[in-house]
Amino acid sequence: MFYDKCEEILISKESLAKRVEELGDQITADYEGKDLVVIGVLRGSFIFLADLVRAIKMPLSLDFMIAKSYAGTETTGEVRILKDADVKVAGKHVLIVEDIIDSGFTLSKLVPYFENRNAASVRICTALNKPSRRQVKDLHVDYVGFEIPDAFVVGYGLDFNDGMRNFPEIRIYKP
Ligand code: IMP
Ligand code: MG
């Protein structure tokens, strides 16, 4: 069955849509008059990213990175960048968009990437945040859709072993 092991809905479609509009309004206000570059971290962010950029009411450019640190439901600690962003970021304001922040290893590796390329600023926007799982203590997260408890979640772009990304809502995965 389609929702097998994922019966419990943590965040509904409607709640996600409402929160994304709020984040879009906030980002629009914060970046007014600035040169904004949005970098989506694939693959998990693709649905959130598509919704978020349509909620940001100002010009922006868009690029993608692919980073991998997970095997199953546990981080491997080692972050590999499988695809880098090509867009020129020097002097521009970079907003990195993630699906979820867990240990924080992935973003702790991505943020310096853009700082070293002389971005005017680098901020982080994540759909979900699991602060209780953080291992990188000094990671500053600027925009958070929802703080969630320590559970493994799937849907709205988030996967378990590359499946379940197409659930329209955030569900708890129970093996
Ligand atoms: P971090 O490097 O530990 O912060 O992990 C970030 C990445 O791990 C995210 O971009 C996700 O791809 C993956 N991840 C962490 N927690 C979950 C989860 O609950 N469900 C699905 N993927 C997760
Ligand atoms: Mg993932």
Q: Which of 112, 109, 104, 108 is nearest to 129 (CA)?
A: 104
Ligand 1 atom at minimal distance to the Cα of residue 136: 4
Residue 75 in this model has a pLDDT that exceeds 90: no
Least distant ligand from the CA of 153: 1
Report the nearest-CA residue for atom 9 of ligand 1. 100
pLDDT category of residue 72 using cuts at 50, 70 and 90: low
> Encoding tokens for residue 122?
């680098």
> Encoding tokens for residue 116?
């070293």
Residue 80 in this model has a pLDDT that exceeds 90: no
159 part of the active site? no
Ligand 1 atom at minimal distance to the Cα of residue 41: 10
Residue 77 in this model has a pLDDT that exceeds 80: no
pLDDT in tens, 112-144: 999 999 999 999 999 999 999 999 999 999 999
> Encoding tokens for residue 94?
């970079």
Give CA–CA dist 81/106, Å, rounded.
9
28 close to ligand 1 (CB < 6 Angstrom): no
pLDDT in tens, 146-156: 999 999 999 99
* Domains of the chain in sequence order: 2-172 (3.40.50.2020)
Residue 74 in this model has a pLDDT that exceeds 80: no
pLDDT category of residue 1 using cuts at 50, 70 and 90: confident
Q: Which of 109, 164, 104 is nearest to 134 (CA)?
A: 104
Catalytic member of 4, 102, 142, 159: 102
Please tell me whether residue 85 adopts helix, strand or coil conformation: coil
The model's pTM: 0.95
126 close to ligand 1 (CB < 6 Angstrom): no
pLDDT in tens, 83-118: 989 999 999 999 999 999 999 999 999 999 999 999
157 close to ligand 1 (CB < 6 Angstrom): no
